[in-house]
Amino acid sequence: MSTPSAVPRTAPIAIAPKPPRFPPSRQGSINLDSYPGLRNGFDSPDSGSINGHPAHPCEACFRRRLDCVMSDDEEGCVRCVLSGAECSLLESPMPRKRKLNGFAEDSISKRSSPGRSDNRRRRHHQPSLSSTTASNSLIEEMANFGGPTLLKRSLGLQADRYSQYIGPTTDFEPSLINLSSFDPHDESLLARGTLRRVSENDTFLLLPDTNTPGFEHLVEDADAIEAIVAPYGRELIDLYFRIVHPGFPIIQKTVFYEKYERSHREFSPPLLAAIYILAINWWDHSDDLAPNPRPDVRELERYVRTTLADAMYRPKLSTIQAGLLLSQRPEGDQWAPTAQLVAIGQELGLHLDCTNWKIPPWEKGLRKRLAWALYMQDKWGALVHGRPSHIFSSNWAVQQLTPNDFPDVEWDENEAEDKIDIERGRTLFVQMVHLSQILAETLETFYTLQATQAVRAAGLQGTQLVLSLAKPIQLKLKEWHSGLPASIRMDSTFQTNTPSTSSRLSSIGYLHLAYFATEISLHRRIIRSLDAAGGGGTVDPYIQHICRSAAKARLISAMDFVNRLTPSHLRSFWYFASKTNFALIGTFGSLLWATSPGREEADWYRRRLGEYRWTLSVSSSQRGPGAAKGALLTEFAMGMLDISTGLLKTLPEKPLLSRSGSTVDMEAARRSSLLALGAAGGGGISTVPSMTGMSVLGSFSGLASGEGSGMASPRSPTSDSSDEGMYGNFSATAGMAGFAD
C-alpha cells in the first residue's frame, strides 16, 4: 500500500465527492426533496404511492419495483428524464433531452461523423436501465453530484478519490477502526484520510486524487488522446463494444456510453486510449472507418505508458480495466505488467468477497467480473511465460459469477442478433473462468517448484505419481467439455456460412483453443515423466503405449480444431494467450516426435507437423476485414514450430521397429501388466483395477506405435474432434491412476 504524503488541513474534507465537470448547460444541482418518490424509491423499493404517481408505472420503474413520478413538463418520469432513456409512459418517442433544474441538453452524440447512415448502431447505444444493475446510469449520475444524498456512492470509481484496502496486518488496527465514528455514508474522517467501511470486516482508506503524480494533466491527456482519433472516437467505441466487449465484458457498457455522451474527459485517460488501441485492430471491419487513414497507434501507446503509470498512484477499477485491455494486444502479453495489475487489484480489494458490501449493486457485478478477468490474466500468463502464479486459493474469496453480475440490458430490444452475441459472450466468459480454474490446478499440481521436486524425488516411480495426480484433473476437463452450452460449441450456428452468419464474428475459438492448451499441459507432463523414467527401462511398455496413444489423440484433436477455424473465428477477438496456445500445439507435436521409440512413429509426427504448419500458413494468409489479428496469431505459432522442428534435426536416427509385431508385442505387454497386478495384491499406492478399468485399457491394445492404427490425419474429414472417445483412458494400475472414461 502506498503511503500518501501528509496533507495539511484547516477544514475537514467534504464527505460527498465534488461534482463532475459538466458543460455550462448542465451545471446545477438536483434537489431530491422536489421528488420525494425518487428519494423513497431508492431507500425502499416497496414504498407507497405519492402525488404525481401515474396509474401505471413505466416499464423501467416497473422492472425495478420503484415508484414512478412524472416530471413537471410531462416528458416522462423523473428517472427516465435523468437517465436520458425513453419513457414507456409517452405515446410517441420523446425528444432525447435531459432536464436538470431547467437546463436541457441533447443526449444523442454529436460526435458521430457526418452522413453516418448506420441507424442500427445509433439506436443500439441509447442509454437504458437494468434491473440487475440497480439503475446503473441513475446511480452513477446521482452519486457524482455534490450535496448530501442518501445514495450509496461507488467505492472504486469515484471522480476525485481513490481507495486502498486496509489489510489485517497494516498499521491500522482493525479493532481501533471499529471504534471510529462513522457517518450515515459509513465514512469517518481521520487526519490521514477518510475511512470507508463497506462491511463489518472490510474497510478502505479514501485519499484525494489531487496529491498524486500527473493529476494536473488528466484533462490535458484525455483531450490529447481524443484528438489523435478524432473525428472517429465514437465509431471506434462502437467497434470495441461490437467485437471485443461481448467476449470480454469487463466494461460497464451503459455507464460508459452515458459518460461519453457528456464528455470524454470523464474517463481515465489510459482506459480511453486502451479501448481505442484495441478497436483499431478491426478498423477495416467498419464500413465507415475502412476508407480513412488509421490513427497513430504509436502515439496512443505513448500516452498509455505515461498515463497508466500515473494512474497506478491513484488506483481505481478503471486502472485494472485499462491494464487488462492493453494486455489483450497481440504484443501485449508481458509478465511484469501482470504482476502490477495483481498488486493493484489487491489494493482495490478485488480478491475479497464483495457480495454483502455497502456499495451499489452494479459495482458488485463489475468488481466480480474484473476480479475473475484478473485471475485469468494471472493464470494464463503463468502458463505462457512459465512463471509462478501470483494468485493463490488461500487468499482468494471471490464468488463464482452469476447472471446477476452482468447488466441485463445492453442491447436494443429490436436487435435480436446483438442480444444473441452478448449472451453468447457472457457464457463464453464464464466458461473461460471455469477452465482457468482447472488450468490453475494443473499448474499447481505439476509445474510448481515443489511439484517438480516431488516427481524428481519419486525416482523410478515418477510416472506413477504423475498419472495418479493427473486422473482427477482429466476428469474435471472431460466434465467441463461435456457440459459446454450448445451456443459456444464449435458446431454452433457460426459454423454455417450462410449470408446471415458468415459476416458475424465469433470469439468462441479462443475458449476451445485454451481447452486444448490445458489438455496439452497435462499430457506433456506425462510424456516428460515417461521419457525421464524410460532411460532405465522401468516403465511398463503397455502403460507407455497407452500414455503415448492418449497424447497422440489429443494432438490430432487439437490440430483438427485449428483446421476447422473459419474467417469468422480468425478475425474475431482472441484472448491474449491464444498466440502461445497455437504454438503449444506444435511444441507438443515436436515433443512426441522427439520421444518416439521408433522411426515409423517419428515420421508420422513429422508429417503431421508439416500439415499443421500448412494449416497455420493458410490461416495467416486470410484476407479481409480484421485479418491482421489472425495473421499475427498464426505467424507466431509458425515461427515457434520452425524453431522446435529445427532443433529436432540434431536427433540421432530412430531405430526401425517392426510394424507387424507391434500389436502382438503390446498385447503381450498388456497381459503381463495384468498378471503383475494380480500378483501385487494391493499395498502401498498400488491398487487392482476394476473390470471397467481393464476394458478401457484393453480398448487401446490395438493401437500400433507406428502410424497410430488408422487414426485420421488432421486434414481428414473423418477425424473425430468432438472430444468424445478421444481421451487416453487409464485406470489405477500398479500404482498408476489414470484417466477414466
Distance CA 234, CA 736 (A): 59
pLDDT at 281: 93
Q: Residue 297 pLDDT > 80, yes or no?
A: yes
Query: How far from 164 is each of 15, 167, 195, 315, 359, CA to CA, in Å?
Result: 17, 9, 10, 8, 15
Range 422-431 burial, b when 16+ CB lie within 10 A, else e: bbbbbbbbbb
pLDDT at 342: 97
Phi, psi torsion values for 187, nearest 5 degrees: -120, 150
pLDDT category of residue 393 using cuts at 50, 70 and 90: very high
- Mean pLDDT for the stretch of residues 176-205: 91
Q: Residue 690 pLDDT > 90, yes or no?
A: no
- Measure the CA angle with vertex 601, ends 597 and 607; round to 5°: 140
Q: Residue 422 pLDDT > 90, yes or no?
A: no
**pLDDT per position as a tens digit, 228-253:** 999 999 999 999 999 999 999 999 88
**pLDDT per position as a tens digit, 516-561:** 999 999 999 999 998 876 554 567 888 899 999 999 999 999 999 9
Residue type, 218: L
**pLDDT per position as a tens digit, 340-354:** 999 999 999 999 999
Q: Residue 671 pLDDT > 50, yes or no?
A: yes
Beta bridge partners of 161: 208
User: Do the beta carbons of residue 579 and residue 628 sit within 8 Å?
Assistant: no
pLDDT at 78: 65
- What does the DSSP assignment read for 368-413? HHHHHHHHHHHHHHHHHHT---S--GGG--PPPP-GGGS-S--S-T
Count of CB atoms within 10 A of residue 214's CB?
18
User: Do the beta carbons of residue 571 and residue 629 sit within 8 Å?
Assistant: yes
- Mean pLDDT for the stretch of residues 401-422: 75
pLDDT at 418: 73
Q: Residue 432 pLDDT > 90, yes or no?
A: yes
pTM: 0.74
- Residue owning grid cell 444524498: 149
Count of CB atoms within 10 A of residue 365's CB?
25
DSSP state of 110: S
Nearest Cα neighbor of 157 from 4, 277, 259, 276 is 259
- Residue owning grid cell 485469468: 376
Beta bridge partners of 163: 206
Distance CA 731, CA 740 (A): 6
Beta bridge partners of 196: 187, 204
- Mean pLDDT for the stretch of residues 359-376: 95
User: Do the beta carbons of residue 446 and residue 466 sit within 8 Å?
Assistant: yes
pLDDT category of residue 334 using cuts at 50, 70 and 90: confident
Q: Residue 695 pLDDT > 50, yes or no?
A: no
Q: Residue 134 pLDDT > 70, yes or no?
A: no
DSSP state of 360: -
Nearest Cα neighbor of 361 from 37, 79, 60, 139 is 139
The distance of Cα 670 from the centroid of its chain, to the nearest Å, equals 44
Count of CB atoms within 10 A of residue 362's CB?
23
**pLDDT per position as a tens digit, 559-577:** 999 999 998 899 999 999 9
**pLDDT per position as a tens digit, 439-481:** 999 999 999 999 999 999 998 889 999 999 999 999 999 999 9
**pLDDT per position as a tens digit, 80-121:** 765 556 676 664 444 333 333 333 333 333 333 333 334 333
pLDDT category of residue 140 using cuts at 50, 70 and 90: very low
**pLDDT per position as a tens digit, 244-277:** 999 999 998 888 888 898 899 999 999 999 999 9
Torsion of CA 548, 554, 557, 559, to 10 degrees: -90
pLDDT category of residue 485 using cuts at 50, 70 and 90: very high
Nearest Cα neighbor of 145 from 128, 159, 125, 127 is 159
User: Do the beta carbons of residue 79 and residue 135 sit within 8 Å?
Assistant: yes
